[in-house]
Structure 1
Amino acid sequence: AALIPMAPGGGVYFTMLHLIQNRYQEFMLKGMETSIIAGSMALGIILVTTCFRIFHITKK
């Protein structure tokens, strides 16, 4: 449960830090990296949940 809020948290922090410091190249790179990580985590959660539901339904 702690993985979800913490994993992209550092990326979001550094993304905003680069934006505030007007380092737009680093802002874009870190923002894309953070978005990919967060999206991958969400996709993984959806995939595991769906597989578990399918397994649970077929078991009945």
Structure 2
Amino acid sequence: MQGTYDRLRVHTFASWRDVVRAANGRIAKNHRRAPAMREARKRFYHEMLDCHQRHQDLVRTFRL
């Protein structure tokens, strides 16, 4: 999922909402509202937010 996060082109200091908005744009239109895909969407959003948090922690640690 790291590669997908990198393709979101979200700045490290962007808010979690910006990450979710960008991730929503990466989901196929027919899957965005499909009830059967709800758990997969949640998992995808959580993975993108986890990657974002790791990037923020890395920047804070090394003050990049």
Q: Bin the TM-score by the shorter chain.
A: 0.5 to 0.7
Alignment of 1:1-60 (within 5 A): 3-4=14-15, 5-9=17-21, 11=24, 18=33, 23=35, 25-52=36-63
Describe the SS at the equivalent of 1:7: helix
Q: CA-atom RMSD, angstroms?
A: 3.0
Question: Which has the greater radius of gyration?
Answer: 1
Give the number of aligned pairs.
45
Runs of 4+ in 1 over 2 A off after TM superposition: none
Q: TM-score, normalised by structure 2?
A: 0.51
Higher relative contact order (CA 8 A, sep 6+): 2
Unpaired segments ≥5 residues, structure 1:
12-16, 56-60
Unpaired segments ≥5 residues, structure 2:
1-10, 25-31
Whose helix fraction is larger, Structure 1's or Structure 2's?
A: 1
Amino acid at match of 1:7: V
Q: TM-score, normalised by structure 1?
A: 0.54
> CA deviation digits over 1:4-42, x for unaligned, max 9?
12221474xxxxx85xx7x2x301110000000011101
Report percent identity of matched pairs.
7
